[in-house]
Amino acid sequence: MDHRLADDNPRGLYFLTDLVNTVQDGGGATPQGLEAVVEAHGGPPLRLTETTAEEVRQAAAVIAGILDTEDEGSAAEAINTLLDRYPARPRLVRLPERRWSLHTAPPHHGQPARWLLSTAALALALWLSERGHCAWGRCAAPDCDRYFIDTGRRAPQRYCSTRCGTRVRVAAHRDRGR
């Protein structure tokens, strides 16, 4: 499912997982590739250099570390540290065709990584407080390690996409048939 145009909720989190997955995949994490991810999610126009792109990749690694955390106490501590270091200065923004949502102030010139971390701190803090646990994870399918946001209300989500879930179910069915 493509969440990009569906809704702004959960606030900016699909942007974060998309960015972290892009950095993790490697190939697309060029300055232009990262700018494109931000733009695709309605973020501010960034003009990244090799240096600031590397800072963004390092920031993405920090965010990945939180998305790897399953213990809500540890996650809250890590998010609080980000909130302290990168205050979010939230403001209400209405992007075309979407409803009002909280965004962090656009990046100061030359500091896209700071903007990314303040955006992540705000989005993850709101999500953790709303859900009460680490409603995110990493795909359990073999050969896939993409991060996802768990929006389910019942069973915990295990796969990054229905595609991966189906792939695993089909493989299990095939194994049973042998």
Given the complex with Zn ion, which of 88 and 164 has the nearer CB atom?
Answer: 164
Strands (E), the chain: 90-93, 101-104, 136-138, 147-149
Question: In angstroms, what is the minimal distance from the CB of 156 to Zn ion?
Answer: 15
Considering the complex, state which of residue 19 and residue 116 has its C-beta at the smaller distance from Zn ion: 19
Q: Does 144 bind Zn ion (CB under 5 A)?
A: yes
Across the chain, how many H-helices and E-strands are there? 6, 4
Contacts of 89 (CB under 8 A, 6+ apart): 104, 105, 118
Find the shortest distance in angstroms from Cβ 172 to Zn ion: 15
Residue 29 in the binding site for Zn ion (CB under 5 A)? no
Candidates 21, 139, 149, 157: give the one binding Zn ion (CB under 5 A): 139
- Residue with the two structure tokens 């501590």: 77
Instruction: State the residues that interact with Zn ion by CB under 5 A.
Output: 139, 141, 144, 146, 160, 164
